[in-house]
């Protein structure tokens, strides 16, 4: 199997190259950033790309975003994301496009070399392998998104103003409604967000965090 490796950690990159070569695969390129990955895939047209999530220059999600782009431009290239992190937004995007020839493995959960090589072979041949932790986080994110979508436009307006740190009265003034109406909207949206009435202030904080999370990933 012809493979491209993309990981900014030099020792890990070299170790993967040796491991895969010893297993009978051909590593056609080993690069340290997303730009190098895209160029290598375009030039070599490998069977499989093994990709880290966080690479230069920002070390956030360059690798997995490049994986999404590869899946869109060349869906015949199998993708194995190998990372310490779950980037659930882009993992969801990858799965939504197609789960054919797709894997997402967490580095610290790889306990057996032979098992890892089996995953490489399976994904390279068109199979799917997702770490259970990845599946769980994708599910949680999807559930939260669906819950936020259940809010009415007015409730989302109220939640947006809550995220700005405004009091109930300030929200009422901004929306030209009564403070009592704002309280009703807040009570309704907290119920829809499945935040039980245990600690009023904590419920507001949790609601705002969910809103900010959804805005950050749109």
The reply to whether omega before 57 is within 30° of 0 (cis) is yes
Residue 188, domain member (yes or no): yes
Question: CA–CA separation, 19 vs 117, rounded Å?
Answer: 9
pLDDT tens string 122-172: 999 998 888 877 766 665 565 566 667 788 999 989 988 888 778 899 999
The confidence band for 200, taking pLDDT boundaries of 50, 70 and 90, is very low
Residue 99, domain member (yes or no): yes
pLDDT tens string 16-28: 999 999 999 999 9
Query: For residue 79, what pLDDT is reported?
Result: 96
Query: For residue 199, what pLDDT is reported?
Result: 47
Question: CA–CA separation, 191 vs 12, rounded Å?
Answer: 47
pTM: 0.66
Are 27 and 74 part of one and the same domain?
yes
Are 44 and 100 part of one and the same domain?
yes
The confidence band for 30, taking pLDDT boundaries of 50, 70 and 90, is very high
Are 123 and 172 part of one and the same domain?
no
Better-predicted residue by pLDDT, 110 or 95: 110
Which of the listed residues 97, 131, 165 is the one where a domain comes to its end?
131
Average pLDDT over residues 197-212: 66
Residue 127, domain member (yes or no): yes
Are 64 and 97 part of one and the same domain?
yes
Are 59 and 89 part of one and the same domain?
yes
Question: CA–CA separation, 71 vs 75, rounded Å?
Answer: 5
pLDDT tens string 90-109: 677 777 666 789 898 888 87
Query: For residue 43, what pLDDT is reported?
Result: 96
CATH number at residue 163: 1.10.10.10
Question: CA–CA separation, 87 vs 85, rounded Å?
Answer: 6
Are 28 and 102 part of one and the same domain?
yes
pLDDT tens string 53-64: 888 888 888 998
pLDDT at position 13 over 70: yes
Residue 142, domain member (yes or no): no
Phi/psi at 5 (5° precision): -110, 135
Are 122 and 188 part of one and the same domain?
no
Are 116 and 43 part of one and the same domain?
yes
Q: Per the structure, how many domains does the chain have?
A: 2
**Can you give the residue range of the structural domain that contains 203?**
150-216
Are 107 and 44 part of one and the same domain?
yes
Residue 26, domain member (yes or no): yes
Are 155 and 113 part of one and the same domain?
no
How is residue 58 written in tokens?
Answer: 């920002």
Query: For residue 166, what pLDDT is reported?
Result: 85
Better-predicted residue by pLDDT, 94 or 13: 13
Query: For residue 112, what pLDDT is reported?
Result: 87
Are 27 and 121 part of one and the same domain?
yes
CATH number at residue 29: 3.40.50.2300
């Amino acid at each position: 199997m012809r493979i491209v490796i993309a990981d900014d950690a030099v020792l890990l990159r070299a170790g993967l190259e040796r491991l895969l070569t010893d297993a009978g695969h051909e590593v056609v390129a080993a690069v340290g950033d997303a730009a190098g990955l895209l160029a290598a895939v375009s030039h070599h047209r490998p069977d499989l790309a093994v990709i880290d999530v966080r690479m230069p220059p920002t070390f956030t999600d360059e690798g997995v975003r490049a994986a999404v782009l590869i899946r869109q431009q060349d869906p015949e290239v199998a993708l194995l994301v190998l990372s310490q992190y779950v980037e659930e937004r882009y993992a969801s995007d990858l799965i939504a496009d197609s789960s054919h020839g797709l894997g997402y493995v967490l580095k610290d959960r790889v306990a057996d070399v032979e098992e890892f090589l089996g995953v490489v072979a399976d994904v390279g041949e068109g199979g799917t392998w997702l770490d259970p932790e990845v599946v769980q986080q994708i599910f949680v994110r999807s559930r939260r998104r669906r819950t936020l979508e259940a809010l009415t436009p007015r409730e989302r307006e109220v939640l947006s103003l809550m995220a700005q740190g405004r009091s109930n009265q300030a929200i009422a003034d901004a929306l030209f409604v009564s403070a009592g109406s704002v309280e009703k909207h807040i009570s309704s949206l907290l119920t829809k967000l499945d935040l039980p009435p245990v600690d009023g202030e904590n419920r507001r904080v949790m609601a705002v965090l969910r809103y900010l999370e959804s805005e950050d990933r749109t």
